């Protein structure tokens, strides 16, 4: 077998040195009635060519974003990632390394994590960032738990603009931990009265901007009210690209900023792996979940980096840990930080402007289609439209015409009476032709 270097001769010699007769002598602790005698009823090994054919056949049944006019968002976005990024993350020394527990031979990983943390802190306008979470949604769950630890309260208020899946993740975790959650009703036009929900029992307010319906939200008043009541403001984003153009959550008073970093450096991957970004203020760093990389020096006085503050973590604190997390999204961080380094400040801002410009163009064009109403006053690269027909049906018919038009709100919020709403995203990958195809197809369907 191509992956198994031992030869039968090797195996024989090794068993002899060990002093047993058969390999099953080494499995003697497995009760004999449980020990499998023959291979399981699954196919035998296959060569590369055959495996490639099987996998390619399955892949061919999906419609890749690049192959069609594509406007799907709602928490994951189609962007162009430079070829350099994917080349570099496949370097053996990055791809096949482990968590940098032995820093002397893991400075590559550690330095990029340190650079990543610095980039994320800058982007979010916060003091410190960790070395990433699984993704934005789980990071949001962790942020709520962290707020509970910091405030010693157990009630979170979730904005109606928070991505419904993020709401679900927080609620699942809170329900299991017997914490309270106040989830406000879906707030299509960003008119909810969040301030009214904030009182001295509240641990944190969780607000997404741009929210799931695309609205850009000003967090300052919410931050003020929260702070007056000893609560924290958790600012969430699902499109990190927006931070290139919008005021940072930190500058608006957020205490914890958490979000999805997929848009920079990472592919759509049908939902994962992605990379959760997580930042906070210095004073809360010891309550922050996740890995942290810190600067130090080696025995020769040379600068070096190590994982640090691990006394917060599960492998030391066990049931007293700040989180059960024991990995990060290493390679996805790396992709993020490489792409961000290639963009640089100038590139990121320009790319964000292009995203916004394309979305504005699309909104204006869609607004001209009979049966379409653009609901947003503000947005970055995604907005909500009200259609004359149920959105799920329209999306399905547009897919048949080769246009992937967006996410029907009913898919995220079934039964909420929002069936005619459609979330539409537009990024730098969309061309005039894409928009024209969308508009034309929509006219036929509506």
Partner 1 sequence: QIEPLIFEIGHHETTGVDLDEPEAFTPRLGGLERKEAIGLPGLSEPEAMRHYVRLSQMNYGIDTGLFPLGSCTMKHNARLNERMARLPGFSDVHPLQPVSTVRGALEVMDELSRYLVTLTNTTTVALSPKAGAHGELCGMMAIKAAIEAKGEGKTRNVVLVPDSAHGTNPATAALIGFTVRPVPARDDGWVHVDDVKKLLGPDVAAIMLTNPNTCGLFENQVVEIAKAIHDAGAYFYCDGANFNAIVGKARPGDLGIDAMHINLHKTFSTPHGGGGPGSGPVVLSARLAPFAPVPFITAENGVLTLVEQAKDATEQPFGRMTAFHGQMGMYVRALTYMLSHGSDGMKQASEDAVLNANYIRASLADLFSQPFGDKPCMHEVLFDDAWLKDTGVTTLDFAKAMIDEGYHPMTMYFPLVVHGAMLIEPTESESKASLDLFIAALRDLAMSAKKGETERFSGAPYHAPRRRLDETRAARTPVLKWTKPAPFAEAAE
The residues binding a second copy (CB under 8 A) are: 2, 48-49, 52, 80, 82-83, 87, 90-92, 342, 428-429
The smaller minimum CB distance to partner 1, of residues 230 and 253, is found at: 253
CA distance 238 to 276: 9
Report the residue number, 414 or 443, with the smaller CB distance to partner 1. Answer: 414
Residues 229-288 binding partner 1 (CB under 8 A) are 243-248, 251, 260, 267-273, 275, 285
Nearer to a second copy, 350 or 401 (CB): 350
Residue whose CB is less far from a second copy, 18 or 51: 51
- Centre a 10 Å sphere on the Cβ of residue 442 and count the other Cβ atoms it contains: 24
Q: Is 444 in the site for partner 1 (CB under 8 A)?
A: no
Give CA–CA dist 244/295, Å, rounded: 27
Closest separation in Å from C-beta 429 to a second copy: 7
Q: Evaluate whether 291 touches 314 at the Cβ level (below 8 Å).
A: no
Q: At what angle do helices 330-367 and 432-445 cross, to 10 degrees?
A: 60
d(CA 313, CA 326): 8
* Number of other residues whose CB lies within 10 A of the CB of residue 392: 17
193 vs 433, beta carbon nearer a second copy:
433
370 binds partner 1 (CB under 8 A): no
Residue 102 vs residues 88, 99, 110, 269, 297: alpha-carbon distances, Å: 22, 8, 10, 31, 14
Which residue in the set 21, 40, 152, 193 belongs to the binding site for partner 1 (CB under 8 A)?
Answer: 40
* Identified binder of partner 1 from the candidate list 203, 380, 384, 424, rule CB under 8 A: 380
Enumerate residues 120-149 that contact partner 1 by CB under 8 A: 121-123, 128-129, 131-132, 134-138, 145
Residue 94 binding target from partner 1, a second copy, none, CB below 5 to 8 Å by type: partner 1
The nearest distance, CB 81 to a second copy, in angstroms, is 9
Closer CB to a second copy, 212 or 331, in the complex: 331
Determine, following the binding rule CB under 8 A, whether residue 162 of this chain makes contact with partner 1.
Answer: no
Could you say whether residue 445 binds partner 1 (CB under 8 A)?
Answer: no
Considering the complex, state which of residue 229 and residue 397 has its C-beta at the smaller distance from partner 1.
Answer: 397
**What single string gives the DSSP state of each residue in 385-427?**
EEESS-HHHHHHHHHHTT-B--EEHHHHSTTSS-TTEEEEE--
Select from partner 1, a second copy, none the partner in contact with residue 429, using the beta carbon and a kind-dependent cut-off of 5 to 8 Å.
a second copy
Q: Is 349 exposed, middle or buried (0-12, 13-18, 19+ CB in 10 A)?
A: middle
- In angstroms, the CA 437 to CA 432 distance is 9
Residues in the chain: 446
Q: With contacts defined by CB under 8 A, how many residues of the chain interact with partner 1?
A: 211
């Amino acid at each position: 077998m191509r992956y198994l270097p031992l030869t039968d001769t090797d195996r024989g010699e090794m068993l002899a040195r060990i002093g047993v007769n058969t390999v099953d002598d080494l499995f003697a602790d497995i009760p004999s009635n449980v020990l499998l005698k023959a291979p399981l009823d699954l196919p035998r090994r296959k060569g590369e060519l055959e495996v490639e054919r099987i996998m390619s056949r399955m892949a061919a049944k999906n419609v890749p974003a690049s192959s069609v006019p594509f406007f799907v968002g709602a928490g994951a976005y189609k962007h162009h990632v430079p070829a350099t990024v994917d080349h570099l993350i496949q370097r053996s020394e990055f791809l096949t390394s482990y968590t940098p527990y032995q820093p002397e031979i893991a400075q590559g990983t550690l330095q990029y994590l340190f650079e990543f943390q610095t980039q994320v802190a800058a982007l979010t306008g916060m003091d410190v960032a960790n070395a990433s979470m699984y993704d934005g949604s789980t990071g949001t769950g962790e942020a709520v738990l962290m707020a509970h630890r910091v405030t010693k309260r157990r009630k979170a208020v979730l904005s109606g603009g928070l991505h419904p899946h993020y709401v679900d993740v927080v609620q699942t975790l809170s329900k299991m931990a017997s914490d309270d959650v106040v989830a406000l009703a879906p707030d299509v036009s960003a008119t909810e009265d969040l301030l009214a929900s904030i009182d001295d029992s509240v641990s944190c307010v969780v607000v997404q901007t741009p929210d799931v319906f695309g609205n850009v939200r000003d967090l300052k008043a919410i931050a003020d009210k929260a702070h007056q009541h000893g609560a924290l403001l958790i600012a969430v984003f699902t499109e990190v690209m927006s931070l290139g153009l919008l005021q940072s959550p930190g500058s608006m008073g957020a205490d914890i900023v958490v979000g999805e970093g997929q848009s920079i450096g990472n592919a759509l991957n049908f939902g994962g792996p992605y990379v959760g970004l997580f930042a906070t203020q210095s004073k809360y760093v010891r309550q922050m979940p996740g890995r942290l990389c810190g600067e130090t020096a080696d025995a020769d006085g040379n600068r070096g980096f190590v994982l640090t503050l691990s006394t917060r973590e599960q492998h030391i604190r066990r049931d007293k840990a700040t989180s059960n997390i024991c990995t990060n999204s290493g390679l996805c961080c790396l992709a993020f930080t490489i792409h961000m380094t290639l963009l640089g400040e100038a590139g990121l801002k320009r790319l964000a402007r292009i995203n916004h410009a394309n979305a504005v163009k699309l909104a204006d064009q869609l607004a001209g289609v009979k049966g379409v109403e653009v609901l947003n006053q503000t947005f970055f690269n995604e907005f909500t439209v009200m259609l004359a027909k149920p959105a799920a049906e329209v999306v399905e018919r547009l897919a048949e015409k080769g246009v992937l038009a967006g996410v029907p709100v009913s898919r995220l919020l079934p039964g909420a009476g929002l069936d005619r709403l459609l979330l539409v995203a537009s990024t730098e990958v969309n061309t005039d032709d894409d928009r024209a195809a969308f508009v034309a197809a929509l006219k036929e369907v509506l």
